Amino acid sequence: MSLFIDANRDRFGVEPICRALQFAPSTYYARKERERNPCARALRDRELVPEIRRVHEENLSVYGAEKTWRQLGREGIAAPRCQVERLMRAEGLRGAIRGGKRVRPRQRG
C-alpha cells in the first residue's frame, strides 16, 4: 500500500489517495517513520540474521534453533533462544528432521 502511495504522492497527494483507498494517512506516515528510525529490536534482528544463516549453512543446514543458538553462544554472540527461533522461522531455516517418524492418529475404542 505504501509503495503505491509513494509512487503517486507527487501527482495526487497522500491524503486524497488514502481517502480513496480508505486507508488512514497516519498509518502511512507511521510506516515511513519506522523505515527511517527502526526500533532496537529491528536493528538487532538485522545484525543477527546473517550470523544465524552463516552458522546454519556452516553446519550443513542440519542445525535447528537450539543448536544454532548454542553455537552462537560458543562464538560469543549473545542472543536469546526465542529470538533465534523467531528469526529462523521468519527466514525459513529449519534443522534436519530425523528419518521416518510419522504422526499417527490415536486409536479410540
User: Structure pTM?
Assistant: 0.71
Mean local confidence (pLDDT), 70-79: 97
Report the Cα 51 to chain-centroid distance in Å. Answer: 14
Mean pLDDT, the chain, integer: 92
The string of pLDDT tens digits covering residues 48-58 is 999 999 999 99
> Among positive and negative, which fits the CA dihedral 49, 52, 56, 57?
positive
Domain limits, the chain: 2-36, 40-91
Q: What local confidence, expressed as pLDDT, does residue 105 receive? A: 75
Distance CA 69, CA 54 (A): 12
Please enumerate, as own/partner, the contacts of 28-36 that have beta carbons within 8 Å and a separation of 24 or more. 28/1, 28/2, 31/2, 32/2
- CB-facing half-sphere around the CA of 60: CA atoms within 13 A: 2
